[in-house]
């Protein structure tokens, strides 16, 4: 009996730990050969010998379970290293079928306290990192489709966040990057659909090394039940979106955590106002728009804070 991703090659970025690790293991369990990416150099063990990087440890975990995996320790925010990552998949497995963009960092601070470097570093790793790998994967799929004369199997799963949807006061850099990733995803989905490629974004909620402070107040079950914030709740959705079964799922945003998946609808036009003459005057705008917001709760903005209350059941 064949597995859903048999014969496919996948890349998972930021896969040395946490969410990316769970996603890499899931894809491998579904039959994919995996390139495990995570930025980092080997450390030293007690004897002074070089120790394996997190990416190498996950790749070995996959191989020990009977799967195929290689490690890549490059920085996806570097354009050339991202290109080398995609090329590694092609050189090792003959092609690339699935790209899961997960790599990211946090530099949390209020907007009035944030430094330029804290802003730039988060935008670079999240948003630029997503672009870099997507650029090279898209070029690969376009070339394959032109060579074959028909569509290919290409899947992109990008990682956004509820911080973008709900608005996170202490994460302006992170929320901006994650919002940008949604824009990148919908643009990519439209651009690559003709080649058989889909691009979707997920907003996962998971307890990882990166988010341990964010979820410090959420208790971990001590009775053997799976933590509601375990990355293992997210990984199956990534496996599904990577598969042929999800061929008609494209340009979508899905929230996932704790045994729940919610599909987020695109924005809708709530109201429309027309000028009496060729263009608006200040007084006319005041007369039309101010009453519309007169009774609006002060914290009700474009942000969809209600997503934070979603849960299974």
Q: Which positions are annotated as active-site residues? A: 161, 174, 178
**Cα dihedral 182/127/168/200 (nearest 10):** 30
Strands 98-101 and 253-257, how do they pair? unpaired
**Cα dihedral 157/159/161/165 (nearest 10):** -50
- Write the DSSP symbol of residue 196: T
Q: What is the CA radius of gyration of the chain?
A: 21
Spatial separation of the C-alpha atoms in residues 91 and 140, rounded to whole Å: 12
Burial class of residue 112, CB neighbours in 10 A (0-12, 13-18, 19+): exposed
**Cα dihedral 50/54/55/60 (nearest 10):** 80
- Count Cα atoms within 13 angstroms, Cβ side, for 132: 24
Compute the Cα dihedral for 274, 276, 277, 280 and give only its sign: negative
Give bridge partners of residue 69 from the DSSP assignment.
34
Spatial separation of the C-alpha atoms in residues 276 and 256, rounded to whole Å: 46
Contacts of 243 (CB under 8 A, 6+ apart): 4, 5, 30, 155
Let me know: does 15 contact 24? Beta carbons within 8 Å: yes
Let me know: does 97 contact 154? Beta carbons within 8 Å: yes
**b vs e for 37-69, b when ≥16 Cβ sit within 10 Å of the residue's Cβ?**
bbbeeeeeeeeeeeeebbbbbbbebbeeeebbb
């Amino acid at each position: 009996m064949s597995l859903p991703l048999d014969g496919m090659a996948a890349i998972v970025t930021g896969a040395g730990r946490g969410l990316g690790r769970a996603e890499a293991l899931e894809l491998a369990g579904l039959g994919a050969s995996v390139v495990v990416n995570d930025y980092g150099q080997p450390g030293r063990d007690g004897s002074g010998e070089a120790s394996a990087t997190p990416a190498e440890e996950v790749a070995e975990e996959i191989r020990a379970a009977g799967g195929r995996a290689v490690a890549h320790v490059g920085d996806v925010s570097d354009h050339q290293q991202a290109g080398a990552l995609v090329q590694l998949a092609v050189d090792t497995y003959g092609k690339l079928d699935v790209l899961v963009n997960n790599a990211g960092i946090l530099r949390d601070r209020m907007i009035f306290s944030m430094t330029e470097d804290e802003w730039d570093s988060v935008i670079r790793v999240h948003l630029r990192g997503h672009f870099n790998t997507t650029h090279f994967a898209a070029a690969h799929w376009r070339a394959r489709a032109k060579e074959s004369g028909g569509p290919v199997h290409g899947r992109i799963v990008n990682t956004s966040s509820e911080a973008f949807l709900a608005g996170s006061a202490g994460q302006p850099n992170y929320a901006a990057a994650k919002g940008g990733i949604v824009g990148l995803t919908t643009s990519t989905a439209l651009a690559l659909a003709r080649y058989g490629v889909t691009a979707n974004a997920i907003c996962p909620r998971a307890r990882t090394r990166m988010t341990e402070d964010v979820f410090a107040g959420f208790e971990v079950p001590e009775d053997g039940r799976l933590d509601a914030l375990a990355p293992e709740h997210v990984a199956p959705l990534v496996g599904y979106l990577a598969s042929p079964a999800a061929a008609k799922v494209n340009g979508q945003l899905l929230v996932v955590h704790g045994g729940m998946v919610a599909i987020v609808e695109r924005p809708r036009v709530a109201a429309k106002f027309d000028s009496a003459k060729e263009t608006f005057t200040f007084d006319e705008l005041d007369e039309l728009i101010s009453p519309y917001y007169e009774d609006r709760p002060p914290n009700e903005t474009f942000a969809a804070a209600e997503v934070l209350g979603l849960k299974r059941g």
